[in-house]
Amino acid sequence: MRIERLELRLLKLPLVRFFETSFGRIHDRSFVLVVLEQDGIAGCGECVADANPFYSAETTRTAWHILHDFIAPMVVGRTFDHPRDVYGALQAIRGHNMAKAAVEMAAWDLFARQQNVPLRHALGGTRSAIESGVSIGIQDSLEELAERVAVERDAGYRRVKIKIKPGWDIRAVDHLRATFGAFPLMVDANAAYTLEDAAHLAELDRFDLMMIEQPLEYDDIRDHARLQARIGTPVCLDESIHSIRVAEEAIEAGACRIINIKPGRVGGHRQSVLLHDLAARHGIPVWHGGMLESGIGRAHNIHLSTLPNFSLPGDVAASRRYFAPDLIDPEITVRADGTIAVPEGAGIGVHIVADRVAAATQERAELRA
């Protein structure tokens, strides 16, 4: 595979509904699209960095800078035997996993299209459908939260995750259990607590939650291990797991019993597969996280989710929860049984609507070999 052309686009799309986490409320999504091309065949990747540096240090602007000024010159004109080699080729650049992942994932799409196989075959996936869950943001009231949960449960989703923060945690979960009884429920704190909150978080134990995601600081493995020793709810790490090495440390320390995999966070599909395999060797289940992706990133996530140790429903849901219209046609839908069929075509297997991409584009750059 030779990278003859690389294109960057900065896009902005309005969200169907606002999304609120412990770091704030957003109404639209900005992201960078990467297109790699050889002989008229194009592969596409979506950079999950957001406009702000709250989930991670990377932003759309830092990603653009690193992609344009450093990554593009390293890959344009270069030949790769296999997309698994792309991440290693970018080793000189420290960090910036989301920028790296966007190019690496575009390379996987291009490679699979050249081989004329669905991406999941190239990745080693074993399923033709995946189990879907939803992530529900912080709402203005408990009644609105229950309404959102009712809608998603009726739509068939296999599990519900709600965002929590101090002041929106025990009462929110209690209200959902009182309203709906037993159903697969979990919470995500996006690092809103400290170890001092351990006794408070232990109050969640009585609600039989599947897990609590990233309760403590993004870079704190030690305190997650201490917290896990003090609460019954399984800890799942998201923000903390930015490399295979850190995942090994976290598993060894007992800092988590479950891992959320987002390819953007770890540097792409190859690193995600390695993380998936590491977790499997340690009996740690993984699930696929979400970053409010358009249909392009979403399709990538679906293919990756077909690997066997993705044994819990992920945050990979229907397009219409996020964007209407999405950048792809047909949109990604969830069936009544809460599963998503993996697109069957070559590569990520979805049709990207050029007019919609053009309409959402705020900036564009191109490099040729």
Secondary structure percentages of the chain, helix, strand, coil, to 5 = 40, 25, 40
Of residues 135 and 272, the one with the C-beta less far from ligand OSB: 135
Q: How far is the CB of 269 from ligand OSB (least distance, A)?
A: 18
Q: Is residue 347 within 8 Å of 119, Cβ to Cβ?
A: yes
Which of 77, 1, 2, 3 lies closest to 34 in space, CA to CA? 3
Q: Is residue 183 within 8 Å of 153, Cβ to Cβ?
A: yes
Q: Using the rule CB under 6 A, is 216 a contact of ligand OSB?
A: no
Q: How far apart are CA 350 and CA 340, in angstroms?
A: 13
* Stretch binding Mg ion (CB under 5 A), from 5-13, 97-105, 191-199, 207-215: 207-215
Q: Using the rule CB under 6 A, is 297 a contact of ligand OSB?
A: no
Q: Using the rule CB under 6 A, is 295 a contact of ligand OSB?
A: no
Catalytic residue among 100, 161, 165, 262, which?
262
Q: How far is the CB of 95 from ligand OSB (least distance, A)?
A: 18
Of residues 118 and 314, the one with the C-beta less far from ligand OSB: 314
Q: How far apart are CA 314 and CA 249, in angstroms?
A: 24
Q: Using the rule CB under 6 A, is 152 a contact of ligand OSB?
A: no
Q: Using the rule CB under 5 A, is 238 a contact of Mg ion?
A: yes
* Stretch binding Mg ion (CB under 5 A), from 179-187, 233-241, 264-272, 280-288: 233-241
- Phi then psi for residue 228, to 5 deg, are -60, -35
CB 88: neighbour CB atoms within 10 A? Answer: 11
Q: Using the rule CB under 5 A, is 315 a contact of Mg ion?
A: no
Q: How far apart are CA 348 and CA 41, in angstroms?
A: 13
Does the annotation mark 262 as catalytic?
Answer: yes
Among residues 9, 10, 13, 55, the one that binds ligand OSB under rule CB under 6 A: 55
Q: Using the rule CB under 6 A, is 101 a contact of ligand OSB?
A: no
Among residues 135, 272, 306, 309, the one that binds ligand OSB under rule CB under 6 A: 135
* Stretch binding Mg ion (CB under 5 A), from 182-190, 199-207, 277-285, 357-365: 182-190
Q: How far apart are CA 7 and CA 314, in angstroms?
A: 30
Place of tokens 């996006």: 190
Among residues 188, 220, 293, 326, the one that binds Mg ion under rule CB under 5 A: 188
Q: Using the rule CB under 6 A, is 125 a contact of ligand OSB?
A: no
H-assigned helices in 158-289: 170-180, 198-202, 221-230, 244-253, 263-266, 269-281
* Stretch binding ligand OSB (CB under 6 A), from 96-104, 175-183, 263-271, 289-297: 289-297
Among residues 215, 263, 289, 343, the one that binds ligand OSB under rule CB under 6 A: 289
Place of tokens 């035997």: 81
CB 137: neighbour CB atoms within 10 A? Answer: 17
Q: Using the rule CB under 6 A, is 340 a contact of ligand OSB?
A: no
Of residues 111 and 322, the one with the C-beta less far from ligand OSB: 322
Number of residues that bind ligand OSB (CB under 6 A): 11
Does the annotation mark 100 as catalytic?
Answer: no
SS3 31: strand
User: What is the per-residue DSSP string for 153-170?
Assistant: HHTT-S-EEEE-BTTBSH
Which of 106, 90, 118 lies closest to 36 in space, CA to CA? 106
**Residue 55's binding partner, choosing from ligand OSB, Mg ion, none, with beta-carbon cut-off 5 to 8 A by kind?**
ligand OSB
Q: Give the footprint of ligand OSB on this chain (CB under 6 A).
A: 55, 135, 188, 190, 238, 289-292, 315, 317
Q: Give the footprint of Mg ion on this chain (CB under 5 A).
A: 188, 213, 238
Give the catalytic positions in this structure: 163, 262
